[in-house]
Amino acid sequence: MGKFSTYRYLELKDDTAAPHINVRSRTIKHTRKLKKIFIFLIILALCITYFLGLFAGQSQWLDGIAKSLGYESVYHHAVIIDAGSSGSRVLAYKFRVPFTVFGPGNLDLVDEYFEQSKPGLSSYADDPAKGADTIVQLIKKAEFLTPLEKRKSTPLIVRATAGLRLLPADKAQQLIDHVARAISQLGYDVALDGVKIMDGSDEGIFIWYTINLLHNLMGGSTMAALDLGGGSTQITYQLSNKETANFPKKDQYVVPAGDNITLYTHSYLKLGLLAARYGVFQSETSEGETPEFRSVCVDPIIQREPWTYANKNYFVSGSFRVHGSKRSAIYAACHDAVRRSVMPNVDWEPKRAPLGSVAAMSYFYDVAADAGIIDVMTGGQVSVAAYRKAALEACSTPNVDQPWACIDLVYIVTLLQDVYKISDDEPIYLFKKVNGHEVSWALGLAYTTIMNRIVITP
């Protein structure tokens, strides 16, 4: 048996020693060659994908190279007037068209000018000529940003918001007509509808554009936008295809943002901060039309505090409280009064809170800054719980310097919690400026106006 085994081993050994084609060695070499080719193709594909992605994304790198090689940027300008209920603002913009190879072009915001004046345009309902002059003076302050030779092609747009919506139609129209005549003499491109009352939906869509443009989120995962003005408030966010059936069709708009996407936006008239404050005061008064208000949301130390709303003067006093009332009881009484006034004006309640990140502007920011929740200069992150904590303190602490702190904070909690369905600890990011630029729907309007002109122009 051992001899057989030795013989077999030698036979095999002799066979392997004989000259023949080594199939295994050839196969290994062939496989390695294919592997190298495959790796090369992968690297090539990744490089092509990367550079196409850079080009499609209008990379600063590519644009910088183009400028160094002598590419001359094309600049566009726009001047927007935000005629709000609490004041008028001019926002003048300078955009440049970056160098692009693939994909649609876009605009880079190069510079802006912001100035405001008070009171709002609606305050001049009985003197429309004077109201128009306030708008002209704002525009003149921004003239330096638009070269004289560019003004004929620079859109000048005036949009009035909730302040004019709340006026009688004839008075609102008189203001619009006076402003239109006055600005037509300034040498800008004023369209036939250059001065008009802005739809609440437009206000929501353009502020959504602004916040996402300034954060470079267009075409990606976008932020929801909450805007709180004096006369109205807007909520706007992106919907998935599955969700559109759960929202009113009249509140859905298909907008270009990389690809076309569907936005839900709803505007609540009379639920701006000042309008809501007035509504609460009025609902607590049983005497009908009166200049005297008394509210559980105002500390008793406040007596006959002057307050002007919609060109009318009022006196507001705090309701008597039982000595030693707990903070929670004072807050609850105010919250009940706010809900009784607010909820009947809510014509549509979303079934859920916005998904993803939520950005809030305007009075959301100002009230939080006054309460010390955020830094007045830089903004920051807040929550419904943070607003409520500040409200509990404001409602039980006498403060003659901030007589409306309690009612305003409680109203914001009510709006976020009861209307928008935002939970206590969900982060809300407050912005007044982003990278030095004002957070205003005016930027969204200017951007889309110029982009539409670029697309139409051959």
Span 247-267, mean pLDDT?
90
* pLDDT recorded at residue 443: 95
Instruction: List pLDDT tens digits, range 407-439.
Output: 999 999 999 999 999 999 999 999 999 988 999
Same domain, 306 and 418: yes
Same domain, 301 and 183: no
Q: Is the pLDDT of residue 457 over 60?
A: no
Instruction: List pLDDT tens digits, range 237-254.
Output: 999 989 999 999 999 999
Among 180, 198, 216, residue at a domain's last position? 198
In contact, 265 and 204? CB cutoff 8 Å: yes
The DSSP 8-state label assigned to residue 320 in this structure reads P
Q: Is the pLDDT of residue 35 over 80?
A: no
Same domain, 150 and 284: no
Does residue 69 lie in a domain region?
Answer: no
Q: Which residues face 160 on adjacent strands?
A: 83, 197
Supply the mean pLDDT for the chain.
Answer: 85
* pLDDT recorded at residue 289: 79
Same domain, 190 and 279: no
Instruction: List pLDDT tens digits, range 181-233.
Output: 999 999 999 999 999 999 999 999 999 999 999 998 887 889 999 999 999 99
* pLDDT recorded at residue 24: 37
Of 167 and 63, the one with more pLDDT:
167
The two three-digit tokens of residue 94, written as one number: 């300078």
- Choose from 22-36, 96-110, 113-127 the range with maximum mean pLDDT: 113-127
Same domain, 297 and 417: yes
Span 127-140, mean pLDDT?
97
Span 152-161, mean pLDDT?
96
Does residue 318 lie in a domain region?
Answer: yes
Same domain, 277 and 418: yes
Same domain, 164 and 303: no
Q: Is the pLDDT of residue 27 over 80?
A: no
Does residue 100 lie in a domain region?
Answer: yes
397 is in an annotated binding site: no
Q: Is the pLDDT of residue 65 over 60?
A: no
Span 249-277, mean pLDDT?
92
Confidence tier at 2 by pLDDT (50, 70, 90): very low
Of 287 and 108, the one with more pLDDT:
108
Does residue 205 lie in a domain region?
Answer: no
Span 263-281, mean pLDDT?
96
380 is in an annotated binding site: no
CA neighbor of 352 nearest in space, from 242, 254, 228: 242
Q: Is the pLDDT of residue 135 over 70?
A: yes
378 is in an annotated binding site: no
* pLDDT recorded at residue 41: 58
Q: Which residues of 372-385 are buried (b: 16+ CB within 10 A; e: fewer)?
A: ebbeeeebbebbbe
* pLDDT recorded at residue 260: 84
Tell me what percent of the residues of the chain surpass a pLDDT of 70: 81
Confidence tier at 3 by pLDDT (50, 70, 90): very low
* pLDDT recorded at residue 4: 34
Instruction: List pLDDT tens digits, range 86-114.
Output: 899 999 999 988 755 554 557 889 999 99
Does residue 132 lie in a domain region?
Answer: yes
Secondary structure (H, E, C), 187-244: CCECCCCCEEECCHHHHHHHHHHHHHHHCCCCCCCCCEEEEECCCEEEEEEEECCCCH
Catalytic residues: 203
* pLDDT recorded at residue 36: 62
Same domain, 281 and 409: yes
Same domain, 421 and 278: yes
Among 166, 198, 230, residue at a domain's last position? 198
Does residue 39 lie in a domain region?
Answer: no
161 is in an annotated binding site: no
Does residue 15 lie in a domain region?
Answer: no
Same domain, 167 and 81: yes
Same domain, 280 and 420: yes
Among 167, 198, 229, residue at a domain's last position? 198
Span 352-366, mean pLDDT?
95
Number of domains within the chain: 2
449 is in an annotated binding site: no
Q: Is the pLDDT of residue 389 over 50?
A: yes
Q: Is the pLDDT of residue 159 over 50?
A: yes
Same domain, 283 and 194: no
Name every residue whose Cβ is closer than 8 Å to that of residue 353 and which is 6 or more positions away in sequence: 420, 421, 422, 423, 426
Does residue 421 lie in a domain region?
Answer: yes
Q: Which domain holds residue 100?
A: 74-198
Please give the span between the terminal C-alpha atoms of the chain, in angstroms, as a whole number: 95
Please report, for the domain that includes residue 87, its CATH number. Answer: 3.30.420.40
* pLDDT recorded at residue 97: 82
The two three-digit tokens of residue 339, written as one number: 């809900």
Least-confidence region, from 10-14, 135-139, 289-293, 365-369: 10-14
Taking CA 304 as the corner, what is the angle to CA 298 and CA 309, rounded to the nearest 5 degrees? 80
